[in-house]
Amino acid sequence: MNSIFEYSLSSPEALEVFSDSGLVDAMLRFEASLARAQASVGLIPQSAALSIVGTCRVELFDVPKIVREGSRVGNIAIPLVKTLKENVGLFNKDATGFVDFGCTSQDVMETAMALITRKAITLIEDDIDISVAALLLLAARHAADPVLTRTLMQPVSVTSFGLKCTGWAAPLVRGRKRLQSSADNALVVQLGGTVGTLAQMQGKRQQIMELMAADLNLRSSSSAWSTPSDEWMALGCELALLIASLGKIATDIALMGQFEVGELLEPHETAATDGSDFGHKRNPADCMVALTAANIAPQRVAALLAAMPHEHERAFGNWRDERTEWPKLVTMAHGSIRAMAQVLTRLQVDTQRMRANRDALRPELTPQATQEWFSLALSREAATLTHSQISLLGNAMSLLNIAAKAE
Amino acid sequence: MNSIFEYSLSSPEALEVFSDSGLVDAMLRFEASLARAQASVGLIPQSAALSIVGTCRVELFDVPKIVREGSRVGNIAIPLVKTLKENVGLFNKDATGFVDFGCTSQDVMETAMALITRKAITLIEDDIDISVAALLLLAARHAADPVLTRTLMQPVSVTSFGLKCTGWAAPLVRGRKRLQSSADNALVVQLGGTVGTLAQMQGKRQQIMELMAADLNLRSSSSAWSTPSDEWMALGCELALLIASLGKIATDIALMGQFEVGELLEPHETAATDGSDFGHKRNPADCMVALTAANIAPQRVAALLAAMPHEHERAFGNWRDERTEWPKLVTMAHGSIRAMAQVLTRLQVDTQRMRANRDALRPELTPQATQEWFSLALSREAATLTHSQISLLGNAMSLLNIAAKAE
Amino acid sequence: MNSIFEYSLSSPEALEVFSDSGLVDAMLRFEASLARAQASVGLIPQSAALSIVGTCRVELFDVPKIVREGSRVGNIAIPLVKTLKENVGLFNKDATGFVDFGCTSQDVMETAMALITRKAITLIEDDIDISVAALLLLAARHAADPVLTRTLMQPVSVTSFGLKCTGWAAPLVRGRKRLQSSADNALVVQLGGTVGTLAQMQGKRQQIMELMAADLNLRSSSSAWSTPSDEWMALGCELALLIASLGKIATDIALMGQFEVGELLEPHETAATDGSDFGHKRNPADCMVALTAANIAPQRVAALLAAMPHEHERAFGNWRDERTEWPKLVTMAHGSIRAMAQVLTRLQVDTQRMRANRDALRPELTPQATQEWFSLALSREAATLTHSQISLLGNAMSLLNIAAKAE
Amino acid sequence: MNSIFEYSLSSPEALEVFSDSGLVDAMLRFEASLARAQASVGLIPQSAALSIVGTCRVELFDVPKIVREGSRVGNIAIPLVKTLKENVGLFNKDATGFVDFGCTSQDVMETAMALITRKAITLIEDDIDISVAALLLLAARHAADPVLTRTLMQPVSVTSFGLKCTGWAAPLVRGRKRLQSSADNALVVQLGGTVGTLAQMQGKRQQIMELMAADLNLRSSSSAWSTPSDEWMALGCELALLIASLGKIATDIALMGQFEVGELLEPHETAATDGSDFGHKRNPADCMVALTAANIAPQRVAALLAAMPHEHERAFGNWRDERTEWPKLVTMAHGSIRAMAQVLTRLQVDTQRMRANRDALRPELTPQATQEWFSLALSREAATLTHSQISLLGNAMSLLNIAAKAE
C-alpha cells in the first residue's frame, strides 16, 4: 500500500512508534518483563529469565519475516513466540519452556498495543502543552485587540482576539485532562485471564501483573478476563474529540487567513508550495492537515464502536477491525496536534486588518450597535475576561503536568 | 415523518422527555429560574419575577404553533420568548422588559437541552442499575455452571456461565461511572457569555449562574463563552459506548438462543410474534432492539463529531447537526438499556444444554483438553473468580449510587 | 420525539409522504392493487376484490392506533391487515379470507416503502430540474464575468462565474441521471418470494406481479426472493451523493457570501433572522440547510451499508435499521435540494465585487500572472467554454426528461 | 505505520497495484502517453516525445526519495515531474521543456489514480466471476436439498440450499454490472481543464485527450473542468455495496458453520490456527476477512462522501481525504472478494446436518407446518425456482463478460 498519504496525515515519530518493528519491540518488552516478574515470584528459574531477557532485543529478529508469517495465520504473536523460543534455545535449551509462560497470544498483543499507545499518547500530550502555551501567549498579547465574532459566517458582534484564543485553548485543556484519565484506564497489562491458563500461574497472577505494571509503566487490571475494550474505545473517543477540537481551530484560522479577510497567516516556512509559482499564495497547509484529520477521525471512531458488539469471547473479525483502525487514529491524532503546534507557535496576527474588517461594517450598523462595537468599555471587558481565562487555563495545565509527573 | 420506527428503538419515557412539549417545558424552567435568580440579586424587580415565574407553565403555551414558527426562523427560542413576553404582559405590563433579561437564544436552548438530557440520563442510569443487579444475580446462581467459550464463533475452551455474566456486567459498571462523570461535566447552565451581553448582567453573572445551577440541578460553568461542545460530545461518546456494550451482550444472547444452541432464551412474554403463527419461534426481540441501536449509534456519534469543527463563534449548520442527532442518540440509549433490562431480569438459562454442547465436543478433543474441560478444578476456579468479580462489581455500583445521592 | 429539527432539515411535502398516514395509505394501495390483480387472474372472486378495494381508504383507519400496536409487535403490517380484515368483514364476510391473500408482512411493507419513496424521488427530481435550469441561466448571464478560482481557500487564478456555475450544475445533471436509473432498479413490487407461500399463488405470481407493477408504477421483479436490498442501498448512495453535490455548491456560496468577500448573496427573503436585530446580517440560511444535510448524510449511508450483512433470510435488527434511517435520508435529500432551488433561483450576484477581489491581488502577482489574469483572451475562452458546457448539460437534461415521460 | 493488518484485509496483488512504485509507474505512463499524443498532433517535437517516453520507466526513479519529497510539499507530482525533467535532460536537453507540457499536478495525479484503480477493478471483477460461478455450481448441486430459513436467528420455514446460493449470487451479479458501469464513468483521463492552462494546448486538448484515452484504456471526459468527484464517489459506493453483499454471505456461512449448527465448513486449508492446538477448531478465517471488511467499509465511504463538499476549485484538505481513504477501500474490496472466492470454490456442504437441523424442529411444529416443511412438493418447487434463477444469473454474467470484451 502506498505510504504517501499516511505520511502527510501523521508524524514521523508516531509512525515509528506504530511501525512493524515498533510493535515487535513492544512484544519483546512484554516477554522480558513477564520473565523477570515470573522469576522474581519463583515461578520460573532465574537462569531462564536471564536468557529470555537477554534475547528480547528487536535487532535479533527478522521483523518482515515475522510479519509475513503472522499475516498468514492472522496473528503475529505466534511466529514471534516461536522465533523467540528458537533464539533462546540457541543459548539455553532449558529456558525454552519458560518463554511466554502461561500466556496467550492475546496477552502479548494487547499489552504491546498498550505500550506503543502509551508512547504515542506522550508525544500527543507534549504537543498539546506546546499548543496551549502558544495560545495563552497569543491571548495575553491580544487581550484587548478587537476582532469580529461571526455566526453562520457573517459578522455578528465584536470580541477580542485574546478571548478568541482562550476559547480555542479551553477544549484542548479539558481534552488533555480527559485524555490522561482515559489513557490511565485503558492502558493496562493484559495477563492470562482465561480460566484454565490461570492454573499455570499458580495463584500468582495478580502479583506478577503488578510487578509487570510497575516495570512497563502501565496499570494492572483487577478483572479476570480479557482487556476491557470499552476503556480502549473510550480512549479512542477522546482522541477523536481532540482531533475535532483542533479541526475547529484550523477552520477558524483558514477562514481568517483568506486573502479577502487577511486577519491571520499560517507561518510561511511551513506552507506547501502546491506546485504554483505565484508569489501570492499563502496556503494554510498545516491547518489543512488538521482539517483533513477532523474529517476522517469520526469515521475511525465509528468503525471502532461498530466492532465492539463482537461475538462471544473474541471474534476474529472484530479483533482485526480494532487493530486496523487503531494505529491510524492514534498517529492521525499526533499528526494533527503536531501540525497545529507548528501553526500556533508562529501564527502571524494582523490586528490592523481585524480592526479594518470591523470598521467596514460601520455603515451597516444601527446606532446602538455602532456605539457598542466601538466602545472602550467593550475592549476593557474583553481584556478582563481574557486574563481571567488565561489564569484559569494556565492553572489547569500546571495541575495536569504536576499530576503526570507525580505518577 | 412517521414515528413507527422511532418508537421501537426508544422508550415512551425518553420520547416524552424529548418531545416538543418536553423541550418547551425545559425552556420555561430556564426562564423562571433566571427571573428568580435575577430578582434575588436585585437585577430585576421581585414583582416582575413573580409574574414571569407564574407564567412559565407549559400548559399556557400553544406548543405546535411555537414549533411551527421556530422551524421557519430556525430557532424555537425566538417565538417562545416572544409569546412569553405577550403572556406576561397580559398580567403585568411592566414585567415584559425583564423576560429573558440579558440572555441570548442560545442560552435558553442550551440550558433546556441540558435539563432534558439530565432527565434522560437518570432514566438510563436506573435501567443500568437494574441490568447490573440482574447480571450479578445470574452470576451468583451460575458461578460454577460450565459453558463453552467461543472465538470466531467456534468453541475454544470452557468457563462458567457466572463468569460470562460478570464479563457482561463489568463494562456496564465502568460505563455507568464514566457516564456519571461526563454528564456532570457537560450539563451546565449556559448564561450570557458573549462580550457585550454581559454588560446587562452588571457583573452579577457568576452569582446568577450559581443560583440557577443549584435550582436546576446542573453545574455552573466557569468559562466566559458558550457551552463547551467537547464536553457534550464526550457525553455522546459515552452513550455510544454504553449502547455498544449492550449490543455485545445482545449479540451473545441471540447467538446462545439459536434453536441449535439453545442455551439461553429471551423471556417469552416480550417476544414479538413477527406475523408467524409457528409455535416454535422464540424471537430475541428485545436483544434485536439493542443490536439495532448498536448498529446505528456509531453513525450518530460520527455525525456529532463531524459537526464539531464549526466556523467561528457558532455555525448555523453545525448547531443544527448536533440538535438533530442528539435526541436520537439519547433516546436510543434508553431504548437499548430498557430492552436489555427486560431481557436480563427474566433470562431463561438452560444449564443442561450448556453442558450438552460442551459434551458434544468430547470426541474432537485431545486427551489433554478433555481432562481440562471436564475437570472439577476448572469449575471451582471459575466459581472463585466469579464470586470475586461479583464482589468487585457490587462494591463499585454501591459507591456510584452513594456518590449520586450525595450530590 | 420533538419534531423541531426534523422540520428544518426536510420539506413539508416530503414529511407528508413519509408520515404515518402516508405509509398506511401506501400499504392500502398495495392491498387494493393485489386484490384487483388476483381477481383479474381468477385467483380470488371479483366480489371479494370489490369489497377489499372499497375498504382500502386511509380515512377509514385509526392510524395512531395501528402505529401503536405495530410498534408493540415490531411490525405495523400485522395490525393493519387485521384491521383491514375486520373492516372488510363489516360489509362482506366472505371476502375476509381473501385479504392479503398469499402475502407476508414483508411484501406489504416493502412495496409500501417503494411507493412512498417513488413519490419522494419525484419531488426531488422536480427540484433538481429547477436548480439546474437556474444554474444554466446564471451561467449564460455571467459567461464572461471574471471571478477568482481558489484552492486551499486562497486565490490561485481567474475563471468566469458562468463557468463556475456549469461546474456546479454538472454533478446535479449526472446525479439526476444516476438517481433515475437506481430508482428504477430499486423500486419494485415485492410479492411472495418465499418457497411455500408461493403455493397459494398457484403459479400466477409473475402475472399478478406484472399487473400490480403497471398499476402502481413500479417495476416487477424477476427474482424469487425478497427485495434486493443492494438495489435499495445503491439508491440510498445516490441520494447521499446528491446531498454531497448540493453541499459543495452551498459551501461555495456561503464562502463567497462572507461579508469580506461579498460576491454572492443568498436571497434576502429566505434569510433566517437568528434572533439578532442587526441590519447587517445576511445569513445564508438555506445554504446552511444543505450544508447540515451534507454533514449528516454520509452517516445515514454508513448506517444503511452496515445493516446489509444481516443474518440469514431476514434479521429483525437489520430490518429495523434500514427503516429508521431510510425516511430520514430521503426527506433530508428533498430538504436539501428544495433549499438550494430557492437559493439558486434568486441568487444575487455582485460581479463588481468579483472583479474588485481579483483586482486586489494585482500587487501580489508576477508580471506573467498579471498579464494572464487580466487578459481579454481569458474572458473569451471562458465564455466559449461556458456556452459549450451549457449546451452539453441542457441537452442531457432534455434527454432525461423525455426518457422520464416516455415511461 | 505497521503493515500487519493491512496485509490481512487486502490481497498481495491489490497492495502491489497501490504501492508507491505502482503509483509512480502510473504517473509515468500518463507522462509517456501525454508526450506521444502531443507529438502526434504536432504540439511538441517527435524527438522530445521519444526522449520522454524512453525515460518514463519506473526502474529509473528513486521512488522512496520522490515519496519523501512529495510528502513534504503535500504533492508527489511536483518532485516526480522535476526528476523526470532532470532525467530527460541527461539525454536530450531540448526535450526538458516538453515534459508534462500544459498540465497541472492534478492531471498527473488524477489520471494515475484512475489507471491503478482500473487495474484493481479488473482483479475484483475476475474474483467476482469465480465466486458467482462457484455459487451457481453449488446451487445446481443442491437445488433440492432442504435447509432451514431463519429470521431473527430462529428457524422459520424450509427452502433449498440451492435457492439460498442463488440468493447469495444475485447481489454479486447485480453489483458486478453496476460496478462496471460506474468504473466506466469514473475512470477518465484528466487533462488541463482550467482556463488558462488550456491556452498551451492550442485548442487540441480534446484531440489529445482522446488519443490518451485510447492509449490508456480510460474514457475521455467531455467536461472542461477537473475530474468529476461524484463519479469517483459513486464508484466508491459500489465497492462498499459489493463488500456489504460479501459480508452478508460471510455472515451466513459463519453462522451455518458454528459447531452446534454444522451445515457448512469453510475449506480447512485456509483456516487460521489462531494459536490454539485443539484439533476441533474450524475457524471461518476467510469469512472473517469479509466480515471485517464489511464492518469498516461503510466508514470509508462516509469519509469519502464527507469530503465531497470541498471549498471552491479544490481544497487541500478534501483532496487528501479522498486519497487516504481510496486505496484502503479498493484494496479492501479485493481482499474481501478474494477471500470469499476461496471460501466458495471449496465450501464443504453437509446436507445431512441441514436435514437433521430441520428434523429437530418437528416436535415444535403445528401439523400444518409439519406437512409443509416435509413435503416433496416443496422440494420440487424449490428445485424449479433454483434452476430458473441459475439460468437468469448465468445469462446476466455472460452478457457482462461479452460487454467487457467488446470494449
CA angle B64, B67, B71 (to 5 degrees): 145
* Weakest-pLDDT range from A71-75, A118-122, B172-176: A71-75
* Weakest-pLDDT range from C143-157, C256-270, C311-325, D196-210: C311-325
Q: What is the Cα B115 distance to its own chain's centre?
A: 13
- B157 neighbors A316 (Cβ within 8 angstroms): no
Query: What average pLDDT does range D224-252 have in this prediction?
Result: 89
Taking the C-alpha atoms of residue D6 and residue A74, their distance in angstroms, rounded to an integer, is 11
C1 touches chain B (CB under 8 A): yes
Query: Is the model's pLDDT at D26 over the cut of 70?
Result: yes
- C357 neighbors C150 (Cβ within 8 angstroms): no
**Which has more confidence, A15 or A71?**
A15
Mean pLDDT, chain C, as a whole number? 88
- A19 neighbors A330 (Cβ within 8 angstroms): no
- Adjacent-strand bridge partners of A149: A157
pLDDT, tens digit, 9 for 90 and up, residues B364-398: 898 888 888 898 888 898 899 899 999 999 999 98
Query: Is the model's pLDDT at D72 over the cut of 80?
Result: no
Taking the C-alpha atoms of residue A173 and residue A399, their distance in angstroms, rounded to an integer, is 11
Q: What chains are in contact with D, requiring at least 3 Cβ pairs below 8 Å?
A: A, B, C
Residues on chain C touching D231 (C-beta within 8 angstroms): 174
Taking the C-alpha atoms of residue B376 and residue B386, their distance in angstroms, rounded to an integer, is 15
Residues on chain D touching B285 (C-beta within 8 angstroms): 152
Query: Is the model's pLDDT at C271 over the cut of 60?
Result: no
Taking the C-alpha atoms of residue B177 and residue B29, their distance in angstroms, rounded to an integer, is 28
pLDDT, tens digit, 9 for 90 and up, residues C314-363: 654 445 566 778 999 999 999 999 999 999 999 999 999 999 999 999 99
Question: What pLDDT shows up at residue D99?
Answer: 96
Question: What pLDDT shows up at residue B279?
Answer: 55
**Which has more confidence, B401 or C200?**
B401
Query: Residue A43 has what DSSP assignment?
Result: S
Q: Which residues contact D81 (CB under 8 A, 6 or more apart)?
A: D31, D99, D100, D105, D108
CA angle A62, A68, A74 (to 5 degrees): 125
Taking the C-alpha atoms of residue D5 and residue C355, their distance in angstroms, rounded to an integer, is 53
Query: Is the model's pLDDT at B7 over the cut of 90?
Result: no
Q: Which positions 294-323 of C are in contact with B (Cβ < 8 Å)?
A: 295-296, 298-300, 302-303, 306-307, 315-318, 320-321, 323
Inter-chain CB proximity A259 and C306 less than 8 Å: no
D385 touches chain C (CB under 8 A): yes
Question: What pLDDT shows up at residue C284?
Answer: 84
Question: What pLDDT shows up at residue A270?
Answer: 42
Question: What pLDDT shows up at residue B267?
Answer: 81
D150 touches chain C (CB under 8 A): yes
Taking the C-alpha atoms of residue A159 and residue C338, their distance in angstroms, rounded to an integer, is 36
Taking the C-alpha atoms of residue A358 and residue A149, their distance in angstroms, rounded to an integer, is 10
Query: Is the model's pLDDT at C275 over the cut of 50?
Result: no
| Nearest CA distance, D200 vs chain A (angstrom) | 16
Q: Which residues contact C199 (CB under 8 A, 6 or more apart)?
A: D377, D381
Inter-chain CB proximity B194 and A159 less than 8 Å: yes
Closest residue by Cα to residue A115 from A171, A4, A192, A190: A190
Query: Is the model's pLDDT at A404 over the cut of 90?
Result: no
| CA distances, A344 to each of A169, B5, B317 (Å) | 11, 47, 27
Percent of chain C beyond pLDDT 70? 88
- B118 neighbors B187 (Cβ within 8 angstroms): yes
Of A74, A295, A331, the CB nearest to D272: A74
Query: Residue D314 has what DSSP assignment?
Result: B
| Nearest CA distance, D395 vs chain C (angstrom) | 13
pLDDT band at B342 (very low <50, low <70, confident <90, very high): very high
- The number of CA neighbours under 13 Å toward the Cβ of D178 is 30
Give the Cβ contact number of residue D12 at 10 Å.
12
Taking the C-alpha atoms of residue D294 and residue D336, their distance in angstroms, rounded to an integer, is 8
Long-range pairs, B96-101, Cβ under 8 A, ≥24: B98/B35, B98/B38, B98/B44, B98/B45, B98/B48, B98/B49, B98/B52, B99/B31, B99/B35, B99/B52, B100/B31, B100/B34, B101/B34, B101/B35, B101/B38, B101/B43, B101/B44, B101/B200
Query: Is the model's pLDDT at B322 over the cut of 80?
Result: no
pLDDT, tens digit, 9 for 90 and up, residues C198-238: 667 777 888 999 999 999 999 987 665 555 689 999 999 99
Taking the C-alpha atoms of residue C66 and residue C54, their distance in angstroms, rounded to an integer, is 19
Specify the residue for cell string 480460566. A195
Residues on chain A touching B245 (C-beta within 8 angstroms): 230, 308
- b/e map A368-403, b = 16+ CB within 10 Å: ebeebbeeeebbebbbebbbebbebbbebbeebeee
Query: What average pLDDT does range B136-150 have in this prediction?
Result: 96
pLDDT, tens digit, 9 for 90 and up, residues B161-194: 999 999 999 999 999 999 999 999 999 998 865 6
Q: What is the Cα C383 distance to its own chain's centre?
A: 33
C275 touches chain A (CB under 8 A): no
DSSP secondary structure, B104-156, as one string: -HHHHHHHHHHHHHHHHHHHHHHHHHHHHHHHHHHHHHTTT-EEEEEETTEEE
Query: What average pLDDT does range D347-369 have in this prediction?
Result: 94
Question: What pLDDT shows up at residue C401?
Answer: 83
pLDDT band at A1 (very low <50, low <70, confident <90, very high): very low
| Nearest CA distance, B383 vs chain D (angstrom) | 24
| Phi, psi angle pair for C131, to nearest 5° | -65, -45
Percent of chain A beyond pLDDT 70? 88
Taking the C-alpha atoms of residue C254 and residue A38, their distance in angstroms, rounded to an integer, is 64
pLDDT, tens digit, 9 for 90 and up, residues D310-336: 888 765 444 556 677 899 999 999 999
Query: Is the model's pLDDT at C384 over the cut of 60?
Result: yes
Q: What is the Cα A316 distance to its own chain's centre?
A: 26
Question: What pLDDT shows up at residue D56?
Answer: 97
Question: What pLDDT shows up at residue D194?
Answer: 61
From the number of C-beta atoms within 10 Å of its C-beta (0-12, 13-18, 19+), residue A407 rates as exposed
| Nearest CA distance, C23 vs chain B (angstrom) | 8
Question: What pLDDT shows up at residue A85?
Answer: 97
Question: What pLDDT shows up at residue D29?
Answer: 98
Question: What pLDDT shows up at residue D4?
Answer: 61
Residues on chain D touching A298 (C-beta within 8 angstroms): 302, 306
- Pairing between strand A264-265 and A348-349? antiparallel
- CA of D21: which chain A residue's CA is closest? A2
Give the Cβ contact number of residue B40 at 10 Å.
15
- CA of D304: which chain A residue's CA is closest? A296
C-alpha cell at A170: 479551553
pLDDT band at A317 (very low <50, low <70, confident <90, very high): very low
- The number of CA neighbours under 13 Å toward the Cβ of C153 is 29
Percent of chain B beyond pLDDT 90? 64
Query: What average pLDDT does range A380-386 have in this prediction?
Result: 90
| Nearest CA distance, D361 vs chain B (angstrom) | 8
Mean pLDDT, chain A, as a whole number? 88
Question: What pLDDT shows up at residue B76?
Answer: 86
Of B247, B303, B392, the CB nearest to A309: B247
Residues on chain D touching C365 (C-beta within 8 angstroms): none
Query: What average pLDDT does range D251-277 have in this prediction?
Result: 77
Query: Is the model's pLDDT at B274 over the cut of 80?
Result: no
pLDDT band at A46 (very low <50, low <70, confident <90, very high): very high
Closest residue by Cα to residue A171 from C173, B232, C356: B232
| CA distances, A197 to each of A189, A326, B103, B372, C244 (Å) | 16, 28, 63, 10, 53
C-alpha cell at C212: 400490480
Query: What average pLDDT does range C387-400 have in this prediction?
Result: 91
pLDDT, tens digit, 9 for 90 and up, residues D107-138: 898 899 999 999 999 999 999 999 999 999 99
Question: What pLDDT shows up at residue B281?
Answer: 67
Question: What pLDDT shows up at residue D195?
Answer: 60
Closest residue by Cα to residue D128 from D386, D393, D388, D326: D393
Question: What pLDDT shows up at residue B31?
Answer: 97
Question: What pLDDT shows up at residue C317?
Answer: 43
A279 touches chain C (CB under 8 A): yes
Taking the C-alpha atoms of residue D332 and residue D9, their distance in angstroms, rounded to an integer, is 6
Query: Is the model's pLDDT at B90 over the cut of 50?
Result: yes
Taking the C-alpha atoms of residue C281 and residue A155, their distance in angstroms, rounded to an integer, is 7
Question: What pLDDT shows up at residue C350?
Answer: 98
Taking the C-alpha atoms of residue B124 and residue B79, their distance in angstroms, rounded to an integer, is 32
* Weakest-pLDDT range from A349-353, B273-277, D259-263: B273-277
